[in-house]
Amino acid sequence: MSDTTTTLSLDALAADARVRVGACSSLADLEALKVELFAALDRLTPAHAILASNTSSLSITEMAAATGRPAKVVGMHFFNPVHRMRLLEIVRALETDAETLAAVAIVGERM
């Protein structure tokens, strides 16, 4: 994971990268915030970037609909404690494509 970085700046996300995981609380009342975040990430990141959410209770399809790349939006739900439970649930949106699912599976295996 030496090539993994974190940031609180949306502008910092505009750099070329292949996968973005948006991590924030999964409380249902934050769904509008998460949709707004994915719309912003869609504007700021390269078109080839995959946008992933770690949420387990919000609609990945609704987040994908806020972007111009719904085929490149996916859920990556890590189980806790992450360092002990090597388990990743990959959640597809209605339009998530097979290439995106395969890519996040590889990312998950490398983590």
Q: Is 31 noted as a catalytic residue in this protein?
A: no
The one catalytic residue among 36, 89, 95, 99? 89
Q: Which residues contact 26 (CB under 8 A, 6 or more apart)?
A: 54, 55, 56, 57, 58
Catalytic residues, by residue number, are 89
